[in-house]
Structure 1
Amino acid sequence: MTFPRTLADLSTAELGSGYQAGDFSPGEVLDAVAERIAACEPTINALWHEDLAAARSRAEESGARWRSGQPRGALDGVPVTIKENIARKGVAMPSGHAAGDPQPADHDAPITERLEEAGAIIVGSTVMPDWGMLSSGVSSRHGITRSPLDPALTTGGSSSGAGAAAAAGYGPIHIGSDIGGSIRLPGTWLGLATLKPSFGRIPLDAPYLGRCAGPLARTVDDLRAAMTVIGRPDARDYSQLPPYSGDYRVPDFSVSGLRVAVHTEAGCGMPTDPEVAAAVDAAAQRFADAGAQVTRIAPFMSEELLVDVDRFWRVRSWVDYHGLDIEDQRRILPYVARWCTAGADVPGAELLRCYQSIQTMRQATVAATEPFDLVLSPVAPVAAFPAEWPMPFNDPDQPMGHISFTVPYNMSEQPAASVNAGYTADGRTVGLQLAGRRFDDAGVLAAAEWFERSAEIAAPERTVG
């Protein structure tokens, strides 16, 4: 089922052109987004906090700037959303769970500040699962977030609301966060373009090992537009990279001569569905046909590395869970409570060994990928699963066997993008992950955009909205 394209579905570039020409105003675009939210939200449940009243005031201000010929930049008047764990002054940050009475944040995160300075219109904060420790849209506070492509299916997570908002058309740009795949997993299961940037490229006010923030969108060009605004340094992030002065473009980019690696088995975790592997292999062949030097590489992850990072996170979440009173512990999603309780009795020496194992993962990832400009792989080994499932394997006693392709690049701090690479026989989307060397966010975006344009894979159709 196909729905009419409205102003809510326009890209950042299309919005800017329309504003400049006077074809429509930021207020009219916001009205279209509000209509889309009203139509979709009862089903997909993407938003934690809606800001349409304040957004209308900002849209009027943006419209005045465009009429006077003085816009603040490409994002002026562009509707965006921000994941609930990214601070916005006056908006509570419950981290997806039902425990406690979360109070409004007393500050804006760097990302929030940069977007508002650029004139972007923040229409709301998007939901996430409990503590962000699920790869789905299942939350003890928010309930179930569903795919706009098929409400029976997952959005992926933990940037579940961001992914749903992007796929539904709540504007062109949506900001999520990712510590093991939480931006790219919604990308593969919703047919989106996404970027987990180099660690430290987008400043956070609460940095943590492997954690990045990044954009989710329907096109790579919208990812780039977001990065030019939020990919700026801020002293509050003590892990920040040196300033980047470019526009995240690679002049005269060519695939010909690129050294490209490809692998469709991670070496651990869930086995790769043959349909997923076939989509990645077809993408690799497209690069080869365009002149890239494509090499198939062996897996560089191991089951031990996957188990160790999973155990490390269980201990971290156990600390949060243990700090709650008994009534609040009962409010945590049972799946997450069961998962993190396995971290309760991990001795300090074992926790340190797990941390050292993460460094081994980093070392192995860099060593395996260093000879190449780009590494192609699945984002996840399987296609989208039922929306009600917290994880694709639905068993809290198992390690996270679906992040074997994504988590290495969080720990190695390398950029990794995703784009839609095709569909399974039953119509579910399959994402291609494109990882590059650390700091080469522009190169990764260029390669992702080249594939997006050359492959011309039809955009997924919404069944909601």
Structure 2
Amino acid sequence: MTDPADWTAAEMLEAFASRQVSPVEVARSVIARIEAYEPKLQALYAFDPDGVMADAKASEARWIHGEAKPLDGIPATIKENIATRGTPVPLGTAARDLVPAAEDAPPAARLREDGVVILAKTTMPDYGMLSSGLSSFHPLARNPWNLSKNPGGSSAGAGAAAAAGYGPFHIGTDIGGSIRLPAGWCGVFGLKPSFGRIPIDPAYYGRVAGPMTRTVHDAALMMRSLVRPDVRDTMSLPFQELPWLDLEIDVAGLKIGVMMEAGIGISLDAEVRTCIEKAVKKFAAAGAVIEEIPPFVTREMLDGLDDFWRQRAWMDIGALDEEQRSRVLPYILAWAEGGKSLTGSEVYSGMNQMMVMRHAAVAATKDFDFVLSPVAPVVAYQAELASPVHDPEEPFEHIGYTVAFNMSDQPAASVNAGFTAAGLPIGLQIIGRRFDDIGVMRVSRAWERMRDAQRPWPTP
């Protein structure tokens, strides 16, 4: 019998309902997994085993008395920047004061309402502005497939926790690839939903929350809860009752675009290219109509976005006193300082380039049902580096495949496509038209069935 820490949420719910296993037994297994693995991974923040057991016992009582909630007893982690009541939100940086959050942010509130047992928060880099587990506040997070490698970011701990079996449910956030990159590099499923689909607070242009799980079906279970409305998100979409668990689709006849080149940044690694090309051939063999999409992200777009985000970061970091500022991760401080001398017209031009990127993404993909691409041009890199290039003057050379679909509000997922010869995961990105989150989930599930057998999950 497999360790309950490795069960899917669907398997847990079935076992709870049949009284084969209780939420308390599952919680004990997950806590044991965390205690064995966490000294090496360092994926968690504010882990409270006693609180976990108390919540699991309350869930067990609801199951016994026929009062179980939709996701009762399922263990979950929540990214550190998504507030949970009573826990400080440092945003990955030692520069912020540790003030306990007054209430749950919408994603945490929805899961708690449905009986989820919150295990811990997950680590992230300073201000969420790295595709890395490097932080001035949290210990260095590592990739469970290879502890010398990075889990990606900024949902660093979430990606590592999902791959390591810290329960089945994990929530990340994404403004340029921060769910999809760690999902790809950690070999798990990650959905960046349509902008506004999952209410979030604070809301910001391009920023979304989304599930990170080992299976598409578990992510669909989470989506049923996460999409419920919350008035605190003034940018959210109108609530829709969508068939999240209807994951069946026939890919035959679908018109699928393939974006093999990002058009900007790091060159595509040969092993990544071969793996994604193999995936495309499987879709073609299943009857999909395949057509190449030329790259559309330009240097002007990416540099404009960089200018805008630098100045946005400097607005926060520049307001700190000198002592506080000295606590910021040096890489992030150096990057943000590049924004302090930008003129108003330069910042406006940068924001305008984000809009140009938005229109280019929609124009490039509008004639296709779905689009396939690599998630990243390279696989997981050294854990101690801030980015694959590790240069604050070239911070975004690895997000050319992901960032445009934040700007365009389109749903996009990362699903494991295979592994390098050295055993590192490679992510396949599946992109849909605006608001077609269900379609992206269905094609992702179809790919789960088409792909080669997966390797066993890493163990402590």
Q: Is this a same-fold pair by TM over 0.5?
A: yes
Matched, 1:348 2:327: no
8 Å contact from structure 1 (residues 434, 444) kept in 2: yes
1:52 alignment counterpart: 49
Q: Name the CA distance, whole Å, in 1 between partners of 2:114 and 2:247.
A: 25
Tell me which amino acid in the other structure corresponds to 1:431. Answer: G
Q: Name the CA distance, whole Å, in 1 between partners of 2:30 and 2:251.
A: 37
Cα deviation for residue 437 of structure 1 reads 0.6
2:390 alignment counterpart: 394
Q: Name the CA distance, whole Å, in 2 between partners of 1:128 and 1:302.
A: 28
8 Å contact from structure 1 (residues 135, 158) kept in 2: yes
Matched, 1:314 2:307: no
Tell me which amino acid in the other structure corresponds to 1:258. Answer: L
8 Å contact from structure 2 (residues 247, 445) kept in 1: no
2:330 alignment counterpart: 334
Q: Secondary structure at the match of 1:367?
A: helix
CA RMSD of aligned residues (A): 1.2
1:264 alignment counterpart: 260
Q: Secondary structure at the match of 1:144?
A: coil
Cα deviation for residue 242 of structure 1 reads 1.1
Q: Secondary structure at the match of 2:326?
A: helix
8 Å contact from structure 1 (residues 51, 122) kept in 2: no
Cα deviation for residue 400 of structure 1 reads 0.5
Q: Secondary structure at the match of 2:393?
A: coil
Q: Pick from 23, 34, 39 the counterpart of residue 37 of structure 1.
A: 34
1:15 alignment counterpart: 12
Cα deviation for residue 54 of structure 1 reads 1.9
2:427 alignment counterpart: 431
For 1:60-79, what per-residue CA distance to the aligned partner results, in whole angstroms no more than 9, with x for missing partners? 12112222333211x21100
Cα deviation for residue 252 of structure 1 reads 4.7
- Residues 196-345 of structure 1: pairs in structure 2 closer than 5 A: 196-250=192-246, 252-345=248-341
Cα deviation for residue 244 of structure 1 reads 1.6
8 Å contact from structure 2 (residues 387, 395) kept in 1: no
Tell me which amino acid in the other structure corresponds to 1:397. Answer: E
8 Å contact from structure 2 (residues 164, 457) kept in 1: no
2:113 alignment counterpart: 117
Q: Name the CA distance, whole Å, in 2 between partners of 1:18 and 1:430.
A: 32
5+ residue gaps, structure 1, are none
1:141 alignment counterpart: 137
Where has structure 1 moved over 3 Å in runs of 4 or more? 249-252
8 Å contact from structure 2 (residues 163, 457) kept in 1: no
Cα deviation for residue 247 of structure 1 reads 2.8
1:156 alignment counterpart: 152
8 Å contact from structure 2 (residues 297, 357) kept in 1: yes
Compute the TM-score of the two structures, normalised by the length of structure 1.
0.97
Tell me which amino acid in the other structure corresponds to 1:435. Answer: I
Cα deviation for residue 277 of structure 1 reads 1.2
8 Å contact from structure 1 (residues 149, 460) kept in 2: no
Q: Name the CA distance, whole Å, in 2 between partners of 1:200 and 1:303.
A: 28
8 Å contact from structure 1 (residues 258, 292) kept in 2: yes
Tell me which amino acid in the other structure corresponds to 1:323. Answer: A
Cα deviation for residue 340 of structure 1 reads 0.9
Cα deviation for residue 100 of structure 1 reads 3.6
Q: Pick from 86, 89, 98 the counterpart of residue 94 of structure 2.
A: 98
**Aligned residues between the structures:** 460
Q: Name the CA distance, whole Å, in 2 between partners of 1:241 and 1:332.
A: 35
Q: Name the CA distance, whole Å, in 1 between partners of 2:313 and 2:159.
A: 24
For 1:383-441, what per-residue CA distance to the aligned partner results, in whole angstroms no more than 9, with x for missing partners? 11010111011111114010000000100000000110011121111000000011110
Compute the TM-score of the two structures, normalised by the length of structure 2.
0.98
Tell me which amino acid in the other structure corresponds to 2:317. Answer: Y
8 Å contact from structure 2 (residues 372, 430) kept in 1: yes
1:187 alignment counterpart: 183
8 Å contact from structure 2 (residues 418, 452) kept in 1: no
State percent identity of aligned pairs: 48
Q: Name the CA distance, whole Å, in 1 between partners of 2:189 and 2:41.
A: 19
